[in-house]
Amino acid sequence: MLKLKNIYKTFNVGTINEKRALDNINLVLNDGDFVTVIGGNGAGKSTLQNVISGTIIPDYGTIEINNVDITKYPEHKRAKYIGRVFQDPMLGTASDMWISENLALAMKRGEKRSAFRWMIDNKNNKFFTDQLTKLGLGLETRMKTKVKLLSGGQRQALTLLMSTLKKPDLLMLDEHTAALDPKTASLVLNLTNEIIESSKITTLMITHNMRDALAYGNRLVMMDQGKIIFDVSGKEKKNLTVEDLLKKFNQTKDAPSDAMILG
C-alpha cells in the first residue's frame, strides 16, 4: 500500500519563477491498484512520481509504503520497494552490458550490487530465459547481446521485465510508451498490463493518452496545478469516455489543448 499525506513541493521559492508543483496531495493506493494519472503539462504528474521515488524530497508531508515511512529515505534506499520505467528507453538499463547481466542486476534490486555476476549461472539463466520468452520478442535467444543493440521497444520491454523481476511493492510507469511508435507502444502497453495483472502489482502509470488512461487500470486520477481534481475507480471509471475527460479538463483553468492526446 502507498500512502501520501499532505504532500507539498514548491520550486524556486522566493523568486519570480516560484512554482507550487504539488499542493496538499493526499493519495492512497491499495494493494493491487493500477492507477493511471493524467493531466496537462505542468500539472504535477512527474513531480509526484519523483517525490515518491526519492528523486525529489517534498517540502512537507509524509510518504509510506506498506506502513514504512520512507519520506526521508534517499532514492537508493527506496529501490527495494519501487520498480520504475521511464519515458526514455535509454534509461533503466546498462547499455554496454548483456541482457543476462542486466537481468542479474535487476535480481539484486535494493541490495548491494557487488559481485552480481555469480548470479549468471545455469539455474538463473533458465529463469531469465523463461521470463524473456513471455515477452514474445525473441530476446531469450540473445542473452549475450549488449542492450545498446536493441530497439527502443525491446529495451523498454526489457526495462519493464527488470523492474518487475522481483515483485516491487510499487511499480511506477512514467509515460513509458511516449517515445515509441504506435505499434510498439501498443505492444509494450499490452505486456505491461499482462505483467501487472498476473502478478497483482500495485502500479502508478502517468500518461498523456486519454484512451490509454481509460483502457488500463482500475482507477484514474486527474491532476491540475499540483492538485488531484478527480479520482475515479471501478464501474464509474469503466463508464467514462474521452468526452467525459475533456469536459473535466475544460472545467479547469487550463484546457488540455495540445497537452493531452486523444489516442
- The most distant pair of C-alpha atoms in the chain lies apart, rounded to whole Å, by 59
**pLDDT for res 260:** 58
Q: How many CA atoms lie within 13 A of 43 on its CB side?
A: 26
The closest of 160, 112, 102 to 135, measured between CA atoms, is 160
pLDDT at 118 over 80: no
**pLDDT for res 254:** 53
φ and ψ at residue 147, rounded to 5 degrees: -60, -30
Contact 91, 148 (CB under 8 A): no
**pLDDT for res 237:** 93
pLDDT category of residue 263 using cuts at 50, 70 and 90? low
pLDDT in tens, 59-114: 999 999 999 999 999 988 898 899 999 988 888 888 999 999 899 888 877 666 55
Work out the mean pLDDT of the chain and round it to a whole number. Answer: 88
Strands 19-29 and 203-206: unpaired
The closest of 52, 48, 93, 91 to 70, measured between CA atoms, is 52
Q: For residue 213, what is the enclosing H or E element?
A: helix 210-215
171 or 110, higher pLDDT: 171
Length of the chain, please? 263
Distance between CA atoms of residues 230 and 130, nearest Å: 40
Beta strands in the chain (DSSP E): 2-11, 19-29, 34-38, 60-65, 68-69, 82-85, 170-174, 203-206, 219-224, 227-233
Whether domain 2-81+168-262 has CATH 3.40.50.10470: no
Please list, in sequence order, all residues whose beta carbon lies within 8 angstroms of the beta carbon of residue 241, skipping any fewer than 6 positions away: 214
Model confidence pTM above 0.85: yes
C-alpha dihedral (140, 144, 150, 156), degrees to nearest 10: 60
169 or 76, higher pLDDT: 169
CATH 3.40.50.300-classified regions of the chain: 2-81+168-262
Distance between CA atoms of residues 124 and 131, nearest Å: 10
Written as nine digits, the cell of 124 is 538463473
